Structure 1
Amino acid sequence: MAKATPRRSSIMPWLLSALVVLALGGALLVQWLTPTGSANPQDRAQVAAGQQLYGQYCVACHQGRLQGQPDWQKRLPSGRLPAPPHDESGHTWHHPDRVLFGIIRNGLVPPHAPAGYESDMPAFGALLSDEQVWAVLAFIKSHWSPKIQAWQEDKTRQY
């Protein structure tokens, strides 16, 4: 009688190959989802492009001087919060660039808000390129003092 060979040995190479493919796919997905680029408030061309885009897409809610809507920390009857300021009186500068980029591109949704959080912040990813989102951020950051810019840049490096 012939001895049966264990099936495990024929499954292991396939299983190992599948795990390698999944790991590579995951790494590529993380790289694809991580934004490239930067918001440089000293880049006059980027700031000028951002100013134009801010006027077109953001000013209706966040106002012309980046001051946000009145009583921005008090919930509306809908339960949602008004648009916050992007100047130094708000909290935008407390967040690293990748978080701000993600909020502009995807709206205020996880991972930048709790699951089920409702916000009037729309996702602009279908309307703005990544380069344009960075330009809007450069414009916003250009309104912060050098001290706040340095603090936020440090936060961005740490994130």
Structure 2
Amino acid sequence: MRSPLYALAGLALLAGLAAFLVIGPDRGGEEIQLRPDDPDEIALGRRVYDAECASCHGAGLQGQTDWQSPGTDGLMPAPPHDETGHTWHHPDAMLFALTRDGLGAVLGDPDYESGMPAFAGRLSDDEIRAALSFIKSTWPAEIRAAHDEINDRAAPQ
């Protein structure tokens, strides 16, 4: 019976994400802000997404089938990055840290197993920001506005 393990994993994920929102990522004081209206950023982001992300998250940002249930390997499938997924529910800084450093780092658990690799050392910070900016550029206006509000709430006061 694996459901208690999934419940605990879910609680750990929520606790880690809550801690992230309170403490924030260690970015050396650098402010991360996506640029979904910058054509050059979007063009670079599309190239990075196609090369590094689409194989798991889908060319149309649709994610993997049954992405909300663990796969046979016990890992969660890649979620969609379109408006049907949860990507837009997280502030820019969290999306950046998760992509650069991996989910285990964001959760504060270096042993956390995830199918999502950390891209630090593989992609530059500019490439990561561009890929995330490309993703945001595809969202409908109301989703982008909601994401902007999430960023505003997460910004240091």
The TM-score, its normalising length taken from structure 1, stands at 0.75
Spell out the pairing of 1:7-46 with structure 2 (5 A cutoff).
Answer: 32-46=27-41
In structure 2, list runs of 5 or more residues that go unmatched: 1-24
Percent of aligned pairs sharing the same letter? 42
2:67 is aligned with 1:72: yes
Among 143, 146, 149, the alignment partner of 2:141 is 146
Letter in 1 for 2:146: W
Return the index of the structure with the highest Cα Rg: 1
Q: Name the SS for the 1:135 alignment partner.
A: helix
Structure 1: how far apart are the matches of 2:26 and 2:112? Answer: 26
How has the CA–CA distance of structure 1 residues 31 and 125 changed in structure 2, closer, same or farther, with 3 Å as cutoff? closer
Aligned length: 130
Cα distance, 1:158 vs structure 2: 1.4
Once the two structures are superposed, residues 56-79 of structure 1 have per-residue CA deviations (whole angstroms, 9 ceiling, x without a partner) of: 100110010000001101111111
Is 1:49 matched up with 2:44?
A: yes
CA displacement, residues 45-98 of structure 1 (integer Å, 9 cap, x when unaligned): 101100000011001100100000011011111111000000011000000000
Question: Are residues 1:126 and 2:131 paired?
Answer: no
Equivalent residue number for residue 102 of structure 2: 107
How big is the alpha-carbon RMSD for the aligned residues of Structure 1 and Structure 2?
1.8
Aligned mate of 2:90, from 82, 85, 95: 95
